Structures are given as C-alpha cells and as structure tokens.
Amino acid sequence: MELILDQQAVAIIRQAFQCCDIDGDGFISKNDLKISSGIEDESDIEKIFFAIKDSTDNNPITFEEFKKGIMDFPFLLEQFKQEYTEKPKKNKVNVPKLVIKIDEAEEEYISTRDSPTFMLQNVFTYFQNAVREFSEQISAPEPSGISRRSDSLDECRRLLNNLLRKPELRQPNPQISVVNGALSLLDYIESEKSKFQNQLEHLQNEINDKKIALKNSEVNNERLKTRNEELLENLSKLESENSRRYEDHITAVKEKKLLQNQLRNNEAKAKMEIGNIQNVIAEKEKAIKNLEKEINRLRSFKTLQELTYHKDFSPDQVRKNRISTYTPRNVMTFVSPIGSPKYTKKQKKFNLDVIAPNELERKTKEFREKEIVYIGQIDKLTKELSAMKEKEENKNFPSNSQRNSSLHEDLELLKDIPGIDAFSLNSSKNPNTPTYVIDEDQKIKKRRCCGLFW
C-alpha cells in the first residue's frame, strides 16, 4: 500500500536525508549510510543501501529514492527522532545544568596540580634529577645536601656551581655549556616564580574582593527579598480591599435600582391619587355650583311669593310712582361678592416630573384641606337647602294660575320702567349670576319687584 505524505512529513524526511548525507553532496553513499546509521557490518549496509534504492546499481541514493525507501526502515527514522528531540530548543528557558561530581581527593589533586607552586616543584624535582644523573655520568660523587624533597632554587644553584668546580669539567668539555644553560634556565625560573607569586597575590586579592561583593550581594538579596514579601503582602491587601469595594459597589447599584423603581411606583401612585383628588374636587365644585343655582332660584321664588301676597302691592301704583319720581340715574351692576369656585379644563396641571417630593406632599396636603373645606360647605348648603324646603312646604302657596298671572304683571311693569333692560341683558348673558340695579339718588324703603330693589 502506498502512503500519501503531506508537506510536513516530506519536510521531516528531507531533514533526515540531510542528516544521513554526511559529506553534504546531496546524495547518500554507502559510507554516509554507515556513519549515520552506526552499523559496522558491510553486508548489512549493502542490504539497506539496495533496499532503499530498490535497485542493484551502485549510484548514490537520491532524495526521491530515499523518500520512498526510508518508510521500510523505521529504526533510521527513530534514530533521527531521538537526535532531533534531544537537541535543546532555542526558546527553552529552563536548561538542565550538567553536574559533575568529583571526589575530594581528586579535586585536591587537580587544584594542587594546576597551581604555580606545584609546577615549580615538578620543575625543581626534574632539574635535581637531571643534575644527579649528570653527576653520575661524570663519575663524580653525589654532592652532599641533595634532597629529593628539596625545592629550593638556591640549593639547585649551589649544586650547579659545585659541578663547575669539579676538575673533570675544568678542561674543555661540551657539558660545561649544559651546566651554564641550566644556570640560565634557573635564572629564568626564578623570574617566572616571582611573576607567578605576583599573579597569585593578585588572584587572591580578586577572590577576596569577589567574596566581599558576594556577601554584599547576599545582604542586598535578603533585603530585596524582605521588601518583595512586604510588597506582596500589600498587594494582597489591596486586592482584598478592591474586591470588597467592588462588592459594595454592586450592592449600592442594586439598592439604587431598587430605590429608582420605588420612586417610579410612588410617582405613579401620586399621579393617580392627584388625578382622583382633582376628579373629586371637580365633582364637588359642580355639585356646589348646582346647589348655588338652586338656592338662587329658591330665593327668587321666595321673593316673588312675598310680593304676590303683599297687601300694598299694586302694579298701577308702582307705575305711577315710577313715572312721577323718575329721574336719570346711574345704573350700577353688582356681582355677588361670594364667587363660587369653578373648575375649568384650562386649569394648570401639576407636572409630577418637575415637582420635588416635598412640593408634591405640600400640594397633596393643600388639596386635602380644600377638600375638607368644600365638604363642610356642601354639608352646610345641604342643611340650608333642606331647611328652606321644609319652610316652603309649611306655607300655603297660591294656585299656579294666580302665581303665573302675578308674575306676568310684574314683568310687564318692569318693562315699562326706563333702564330695566340691563336686567334682561345681563340675565341673558349669564343666568347664574344675580344682578342688582340700585338708584343712588333715591332711597326706596319698601321692597319691590322680586327683591331687585331694597
């Protein structure tokens, strides 16, 4: 079965091909395959090589052949996977450190071996051994004072000077140059030793300075650590305070919404109550107006009844008196000083959206007080009306024909009097308003004509 590889798989296979291409010529030879796979057996390498190529020619493997044949050898891809995944990533932050444990004895040996003193000791030892061997070669007795553990440069110089004083070396001998060279080498070693000591002192001073700086850094680190802990504690307190304030804010917002809803409900109730009060007031005013109208009619009817049964009342006599005593006079019209309260549709309504809560309470209180006053007035008028009705029922009224004839005569008499048209005109304009005509020049002592003159 042939597998279909996507672009990502092809890219990975190309990387594996490049890893197997050791010489980098773009082809994989048997040697490249041997090195990359780690297989030492030549026969196995040839089998794998021809299996990947899927042919018997010895030409190097191309990428297309490698792409087709590598799928039959998963261990090569597994090796590539291990090498690929074990490489540290560039973006990785936490890289494991390589820890090498060294025994104390080995560590002491390494530190001693690398020191300049140890190097000089080796030089001295080798140099002393060379001097000893040179003395033996010239059949000279071993110089006294040589110690295998001696590391003194002065001791080496003394030994060399003793060798130069030997009689064997007084004659021309090439070994004298060797001894002189050894002395020169000894001088060089002494100069290098002083340099090493100076460097050692300098390094020790630097180590001491580093230790002091490290100690100061540790102190600063502890101080910064304490400061960091304090800041973290303050941050936690601020976060808790912020969360508490946030909860308080949420609670305040909920209470505000609740109060707004209550205010809307109260305003709606207040509007409804004010509308009901206004309707009641309008009904009461209308009832009072009707009662006043009825009272005025009853008063006029009472006056007509009194004039009808008055003994001295005579239309002819009134006509003569009017003609004889008539003089031009000013006519004055009085409107009843007690005006009835009226309710008009043009009355200004209260704007509940503008009135403050205190103003609303005050207006409501005034409406209720007015309502109480109106109710008292209505009760009073009702009592007066009932009393007048009872009084009229107790009297003996004339017949309807007599009452109509007397009223007709009175009206005919009034039409003949000059200036009486004002009464009819004012009555036609506003029948509910009582009108009075008064003569300012002449005082009339008797009641006349429906109570219009006094």
Q: Residue 163, exposed/middle/buried by CB under 10 A (0-12, 13-18, 19+)?
A: buried
Tokens describing residue 223 = 């101080």
- Amino acid 186: pLDDT: 72
Taking the C-alpha atoms of residue 357 and residue 266, their distance in angstroms, rounded to an integer, is 10
**Structure confidence at residue 75 (pLDDT):** 63
- The Cα 279–Cα 273 span in angstroms is 10
- How buried is residue 363: exposed, middle or buried, by Cβ count under 10 Å (0-12/13-18/19+)? middle
In one-letter notation, the amino acid at residue 333 is: T
d(CA 15, CA 17): 5
pLDDT score at 307: 65
| Residue 89, pLDDT score | 46
The per-residue pLDDT for 109 is: 42
Per-residue pLDDT 10s for the chain (454 aa) are 455 666 777 777 787 788 777 887 888 888 887 887 777 778 877 888 887 777 777 788 888 888 777 776 666 666 666 665 554 444 443 433 333 343 444 444 444 444 444 444 555 565 556 656 655 555 444 444 444 434 455 666 666 666 666 665 555 555 666 666 667 777 777 777 788 888 889 999 999 999 999 999 999 999 999 999 999 999 999 999 999 999 999 999 999 999 999 999 999 998 898 888 888 888 888 888 888 888 877 777 777 666 665 555 556 665 666 566 555 444 444 444 445 444 444 444 444 444 445 666 676 777 778 778 877 878 888 787 777 777 666 654 455 555 455 555 555 554 554 444 444 434 444 444 444 343 434 433 344 444 433 3
Assign 39 to helix, strand or coil: coil
- The H or E element spanning position 12 is helix 7-20
Cβ-defined contacts of 395-402 (< 8 Å, 24+): 395/305, 397/305, 398/308, 398/309, 402/308
pLDDT (0 to 100) of residue 427 = 42
- Residue written as token pair 């082809």: 27
* Phi, psi dihedrals of residue 114, rounded to the nearest 5°: -80, -10
Q: Count CB-CB contacts under 10 A for residue 118.
A: 13
DSSP 168: G
Boundaries of every domain in the chain: 7-86, 108-235
Task: Determine contact, residues 397/305, Cβ cutoff 8 Å.
Answer: yes
- Give the N- to C-terminal CA distance of the chain in Å, as an integer: 138
Helix and strand tally (H, E) in the chain? 13, 0
pLDDT value, residue 93: 39
* CB atoms inside a 10 Å sphere around CB 310: 12
Provide the β-strand partners of residue 437.
Answer: 333
Rounded to the nearest angstrom, the gap between the alpha carbon of residue 360 and the centroid of all alpha carbons in its chain is: 39
Instruction: Kindly give, in sequence order, each residue whose CB lies less than 8 Å from that of residue 124, ignoring residues fewer than 6 positions away.
Output: 150, 151, 152, 153, 156
Q: Which two tokens stand for residue 244?
A: 């508490």
Cα separations in angstroms, 188 against 120, 181, 297, 408: 12, 10, 156, 171
The four Cα atoms 205, 207, 211, 214 give a dihedral, to 10 degrees, of 120
Read off the tokens for 392.
């009229």
Nearest 5 degrees, angle CA 308-CA 311-CA 315?
Answer: 65
CATH annotation of 7-86: 1.10.238.10
The Cα 302–Cα 306 span in angstroms is: 6
